[in-house]
Structure 1
Amino acid sequence: MNIRLDNLSVNFDDRFQMDDINWQLDDSQHWVITGANGSGKSALAAILAGAGNQLLGSIEGLPDKVGLVSFEAQAELIERERKKDDADIMDVISEGTPVHEILSENGRNPELIDKLVTMFKLEGLVNRSFRKLSTGESRKVMLIRALASEPDLLILDEPFDGLDAHTLEMLQHYLASLVETVPMVMVLNRFDEFPEFITHIAYVDHGRLQLQIERNDDKAYSELYQLLHLKTTNLEVPEADPDNRLPPLDPNQPLVRLNKINITYDGHKIIDSLDWTIERNQHWQLSGPNGSGKTGLLSLITGDHPQCYVNDIFVFGFQRGKGESIWQIKQFIGYVSTALQWEYKVGTGLRNVIISGFYDSIGLYTKATERQKKIADEWLALLGMNDRADEPFNKLSYGDQRLLLIARAMVKHPPLLILDEPCLGLDDMNRQLVLALIEKICAGSETSVLYVNHHPEDKIKGIDNYLALEKR
C-alpha cells in the first residue's frame, strides 16, 4: 500500500473543507492524526476512507478494503436502523437488526467475528437489536466490524473513547498484534493514548495538514506536545497583577487614531494620507511587503518615529505633541520583535523573564512579589513550561524564547500588544506554537493584538480586522 495525496482540497457538503493536503503513507507506517477540536482531524481520516467531494489535486493508492471506526460511521449505522422503523407498515414495530447480522454483513470472517465477540465480552448481546445497545456497546460492535473485515488499511477515529479500562487495554494489545500486517491511521486527542507502535504523527489545524513528524524525533515530538497543550488546554490567560495596574483609559476613546498619516524618506512618500483607528478589544493583522511602511507605522504608534510630531496621532488618550512623554505612551504597549529577542541575551530563569515584563526591563533587577511569581508561574503553565521555571533563558530554543517574550509582553495586560513579525526565523513547529499562543491571547484577554507579518493570507483565528500596505 502506498497512498499519496497531492495538493488535495476536499469539501464535505459545504460544512467543512480541507485544503492543500500533501501526504504520503506506506504500509510500513502507522500514523496518528491529532489537533484541536474542529481542526479537521476526522475529516482527514475520512478522506482516506473515500469520503468528501474532491475539488482540487489528486489522491492515489487508496485500498479497496478499508476498515473504519468513527462517530460519524456509528451515527450512520444508527440512522440506517432508525429508518427501518419509518419504513414499517401495518403498525408492525420492527425489533431492528440483531447484532450478529450487523457483524456478519459484507462477508466478514465468521471465525474472527466469534473470536472478537469473546474478546470484547459481547457474547450475551449478539441476538439483541443493535439500536438497543448502549453507546459503549455499539462502539464495540463498530470495532469488531472493522477488525473482522480484515482490511488493507485500518482507520480508527478516537477508538478508545467510551471503553472501560479492561477493554481499552485489550484493544491496544490486539492492535499491536496487527502492526506487521495492517497499516493503521488513528485519530487521537490524548498523547498518553498514543500506542507504542505509532511511527508518524500528523498535526491538523484549520483544515490543513500543518505538520508531519516521525515519532522517534524527540525534539519535534516534545514541541508538538507543547503545541497541543497550548491549543487544547483549558487554562486561560492569567490575570493581571491587581497591585500593579496601568492607569485607566477612557472607554469611549479608541486606543489609536491616525488621521491622514504621512511618512516620507528622502522626498519619497512611504505612506500617504492613511487613516487608521484601533478600537478597544479589536484585533488587527497588518501585512505588506518589505518597504511598504509597516515598521514606520508601528513606530508612529510607539512614539519612536521622528515624524510623530508632524502627524495627527492620538494614542491612549494623548494627542501627540501636547507635552506627553514617550514613557506615558509605552506603558500601554506590549511589544515583541526579532530585534528585542536579539537584545534579550540574559541567563536569568524563565520565571524572571516573564516578571521582567512588569518593569519593561531586559533581565530582572527588582525583587519580585509573591503575587508576581504566582502570575509568572501561571503563564509558564499555559505555555507547558511549568517545570522549567529556573531554566536559563539563553539556553532555550529560538521558538521557546519567542513564546517567553510574548508572555513577558502580556504579563501586565497592556491595552495593545504589538507582535512585529513574531514568526520570523521560526521553523514550522515553532511557528505553530507562536500562532497558537496568539490565538489564546485573542480569545482570552481584553488586550488588543496587532499582529504584523508579510502575508495577508496567513490568518489567525480571532483576528478579524486587516490592513494591507502596498509598496509605493
Structure 2
Amino acid sequence: MISDYPKLRLEKASLLYKSTQVLKDISLELTPGESLAIIGESGSGKTSLAKLISQSAYPTSGEVENSFRTVFVSQQDHFSEIAGLASTYYSKRYEFHDYENPMTVPGFLQQLFKRLGNEQRSVAELELLDTFKVRYLLDRNLMQLSNGERKRLQLIAAILEEPELLIMDQPFTGLDLAARVQLSELLRQLNKEGLSLVIICGKREIPDFIDRVVLLKDGQIALEGNPQQISASNQRNPMINSAIAVDAILGQEPEYFETIISMKDVNVQMRGNPILIDINWEVKQGECWALLGHNGAGKSTLLSMVTADNPQGYTNDLILFDRKRGSGESIWDIKSRIGYLSPELHLYFMRGKGVLSSVPGISTDAKPYSTLSCLDVIISGYLDEIGTVSPSTPHQRAVAYSWLEMVRLTKLENTLFLDASLGEQRVILLLRALIKAPALLILDEPCQGMDADQIDYFKGLLDHICSSKHITMVYVSHQADEIPECVQKVLVLEKGKVIENGPRKKV
C-alpha cells in the first residue's frame, strides 16, 4: 500500500546564486507514487528546483526534506568525460584510430553494474536494451552515439539505479516520436508500480498520466494544478516581431554559390560498420531542407560531411560551395560559410578547456570556456571557435549585443554561459550560428530546452531570414511543429539510407 505521507517537502525554500534570486519561497510536497511536472519559461528556475529536490543544491533559506532514494537525470549527459575524452576536440568523434580504445557501451554498463554491486550481471541479458530498442548499441562506443541514443542510454542507467524518486530534466528532448511514446509508456508503468516522478518539460510535452503540474515564473510558483487546469490557463507572452531589426543586424546578403551541397553515392563507415550508404543529395542556393530520421539513422554523420568535421569527406564524391572536397579548399573556407548548432556542439561549450576551430594541436591565447560570457559565446561564431573566444573588435561586440537586444536577453551580456539556463544557452548558440550571416545554416535540434514562446519566435525569425536573405538552411528536428514554414524540401534517412527525398508536402 502506498503511503499518503509526503517523503518530499519544501517549505519556503529560496535559492540565491551569485547574489541573484533564482528561486523564492517554494513550497510543495510529494507523496510516494505521485507524479509532478515542472514547466515554465527558460530561466524560470526549473532545473534549479530539480537540484533542490534532488539535494544536489541546498536552499539559501527555507527547508527541503527528501527521504526518497533519488536519481536525477540531467538534460546534459557526461559520457564524454566518462569515456576519458573530456579535452578532445570536436571532430574527434569521427576520427577514432585502430590504436585507440575508447569506452564501449557494454563497458559503460559493466562499470555501472560494478558500482551498483552487481558485477556478475550480464549486459547481453539487460531487458531495458529491448525496451528502449537500443540493443544494437552493444557494438558502439560512447562517442559514436547520436544525441537521441545518448539520451536513451542515460535513462537506462538511471532506471538501473532503482530509485524511489526519479527526476528527469527534459527527458523527451532529442528522442524521435516512437522513442518518446516508448518512454512515456515506460514512465507510466513505473509510476503505476509506485515510482515517484518529477519531470521538467515543456507545456506541450506533459505526459497524460501526470498527477500535478507546477508552473514557475521568475523563480516562483505562478500556478499549480492538474494538467487540465494548467492547459486551460493562457500564459502566452509572444516575443516582438523583429523583422526590421534582424535585417539591419545581418546586413548584406551572403556570398552566392550555385550548389551548396552535392553528394553522389556517399558512403561512410566507422570501425567497419556502415553508417551512411549510397547517399545522393543536392542542395541549391536558397533552398531550405528538413533532415529527418529516427535516432541513429545517420543524420549527425551526414552533417559532419558538410561541416568538414568528418575526414571521410575526402574519399567521397562531395561538393561543398561549388568546390569538390579535397580540391585545395581548407576546413576554414568551409566553416566560414556555415552557421552551425547541434546538441553535441552544446556539450563542447559545457566541458574541457575549449578548442580553437575544432582543430587539434592549435595553441591560443583565447579565453577558455569557464570564463566565457554569453556575449563571448555569440562572438565566437565569427571565427567558428568552440569553447573559446579570441579578442573581439568593437564592431563584433556591438553586433552581438544587438542580437541580445532583439531577443530580449541583454541581462545575459556579462553572465557566464555556464550560469545561464539550458534554454537560454540554446538561444545564445543559435545567435552564434546567425552572427556572421552565413551562406548555410545547419540547425540540428535547435529548439531543445527552449520554451514554447521562444520556439515560435525563432521559427518566425528563421522564416524571415531565409526568405529575405536567401540563406540556405538544413534543419533537423523530431518535432514536426518545430520546423519553420520556409522548409519546403525533405530528406529522410533510415538506417543510413535515403528513403525519401523531395517536396515537404509529399513526404
Range into which the TM-score falls when normalised by the shorter chain = 0.3 to 0.5
TM-score by length of 2: 0.44
Greater C-alpha Rg: 1
TM-score by length of 1: 0.47
